[in-house]
Amino acid sequence: MVMMDLRDILRDILGSYRVQFLLLPRQCTAPEASALDFSFRDQLYEFFDYPGFARNIIALVPEDNVIDYKDDFGLHYLVFRGRNTEKDAYAFFGPFTYRAYGETDYERLIRSHGLQADAIEAIRWYFKRIPVIQDYLSWQHMFTTLLSRYLANPDLKIKSVTYDHPETLRQKPVLALSAIPYASVEARYAVEAAMLEAIRRGDISEAIYQQNLFMGFTLDQRVADPLQDAKYMVIAVNTAYRKAIEQAAVHPLYIDAISGRFVMEIENAETTDQLLALIPKMIRHYCLLVQKHSLERYSGPVRDCLNYIDFHYMEPLSLESLAARFVINKNYLSSRFHKEVGMTVTDYINKTRVQRSEELLGKKTLSMQRIAEQCGFSDANYFTRIFKKINGISPNAYRKSLNPPPLSNP
């Protein structure tokens, strides 16, 4: 199994637990290493040595094994070395904890690190976003199974390493510590931006991963009724996703159809669990819409023609009629269209009509002549000829493949 395969699988698993996945080079930079704890120590201390922090952990990692590293704040990381092309990189899963932290824990951390009392607010805000792994045994078993195969070590056992000797570091002034809630909000917006960018690209895996991280942030309840509050939140999410795919140049008619459908599902939801389950569903549908209908890579004239063909395929269309409609020289449009789309305008029109006909062929009651007319073909014979040219089989054969005869009893 190559690293990319494992990374994709692990990101999906980790995302469901809201746990971060990082791949860091042995000689990482401060900005790279600061992602290990979401820049938490940078908010507490002056000039924290993040590269040194990462190197100290990396030095403890065996060649073909995994460590469960627990740092001086009680945060856990599963860490192992990459293989093949990523041998000089190390995978970090974390931070996470195996139990929920509370006020008693925050006060203990203040004392053990010799921090100012004001720092408890920073710690409180930080631990609100740290995922808690409740089932320790299942968690360890899952990664032991996966990583034993990846590291080709059937005897792999996750080794626990605890660092519980806090260093004496120069702390940030009280005024700086008071800005911690603002830093947390900025971090939340950064994760949200990464999630929306992934949706704009149509990247389902990345979008769900970032959304799960986003859900790790504690959001204030805005209305007293939890169900109504959740509905307001998911409506806002739906709006944000819709705006993201607008930037991918998906036609508003496609967006409006899917957005309206989700508004109805939100309105009909009867529990907060139903509403939260809608979020990954929305991500998948919006990303698939981008994958299928994004015209972002095309120039304005070509984009206009593609949209017009997609929504007017049943009408008489030609290179000449499109050039006249959009006031473009037909030779220029022909050249530009072929260069960007990879086929002629006529071929694209025919391809679009045939794709629409495939949906209608599933309806046994429609005749070939009727299907041809509804898809913009002049007659059934011409429709049959073009369909066979594109798909390699006739419309009748295609229809039979959709509706195979029942198996006879022996």
Task: Assess whether 48 and 91 both reside in one domain.
Answer: yes
The pLDDT of residue 406 is: 58
Does any domain span residue 256? yes
Residue that finishes a domain, picked among 173, 201, 216: 173
CA 189 – CA 210 distance, rounded (Å): 11
121 and 212 together in one domain: no
User: What letters, b where the CB count within 10 A reaches 16 and e where it falls short, cover 221-236?
Assistant: eeeeeeeebbbebbee
Q: Could you tell me if residue 239 is inside a domain?
A: yes
HSE-CB for 9 with a 13 A CA cutoff:
12
CA distance to 195, 201, 209, 275, per residue, from 244 (Å):
10, 9, 17, 20
Mapping DSSP to helix (H, G, I), strand (E, B) and coil, where does residue 86 land? helix
286 and 305 together in one domain: no
Q: 351: domain CATH number? A: 1.10.10.60
Residue 407 placed within a domain = no
Is 262 contained in some domain? yes
How distant is the alpha carbon of residue 19 from its chain centre?
A: 14
Given a contact cutoff of 8 angstroms between Cβ atoms, the answer to whether 398 and 360 are in contact is no
Q: Say if residue 159 is in the same domain as residue 191.
A: no
| End residue of a domain, out of 140, 173, 206 | 173
Does one domain contain both 50 and 69? yes
The C-alpha atoms of residue 351 and residue 218 are separated, in whole angstroms, by 49
Please indicate, yes or no, whether residues 168 and 232 belong to a single structural domain of this protein: no
Tell me the C-alpha distance between 153 and 147, whole Å.
8
pLDDT of residue 191: 86
Residue 181 forms part of a structural domain: no
Residue 408 included in any domain: no
Which residues, at least 6 apart from 242, have a Cβ–Cβ distance to it below 8 Å?
A: 255, 259, 286
Q: What is the pLDDT of residue 389?
A: 94
Whether 313 and 358 map to the same domain: the answer is: yes
In the chain, how many domains are there?
3
pTM: 0.65
- Residue 404: its pLDDT value, please? 66
Q: Are residues 167 and 281 in the same domain?
A: no
Tell me: do 270 and 218 sit in the same domain.
Answer: yes
Q: pLDDT 10s per residue in the chain (410 long)?
A: 344 466 677 777 887 888 998 989 989 999 999 999 988 898 888 889 999 999 999 999 988 889 999 999 999 999 998 876 666 889 999 999 999 999 999 999 999 998 888 888 888 888 988 999 988 889 988 888 888 887 778 888 899 999 877 777 888 776 555 555 555 677 778 888 999 999 999 998 889 888 888 877 766 667 788 889 889 989 999 999 999 999 999 999 899 999 999 999 999 999 988 998 899 899 999 999 999 999 999 999 999 999 999 999 999 999 999 999 999 999 999 999 999 999 999 999 999 999 999 989 988 888 999 999 999 998 899 999 999 999 999 999 998 887 666 555 54
Q: Same domain, yes or no, for 81 and 18?
A: yes
Q: Is 150 domain-assigned? A: yes
- Per the structure, the complete domain to which residue 208 belongs is given by 187-293
Residue where a domain stops, chosen among 173, 208, 229 = 173
Is 353 in a helix, a strand, or coil? helix
Q: Do 220 and 153 share a structural domain?
A: no
Query: What pLDDT is recorded for position 181?
Result: 57
Residues 156 and 58 in one domain: yes
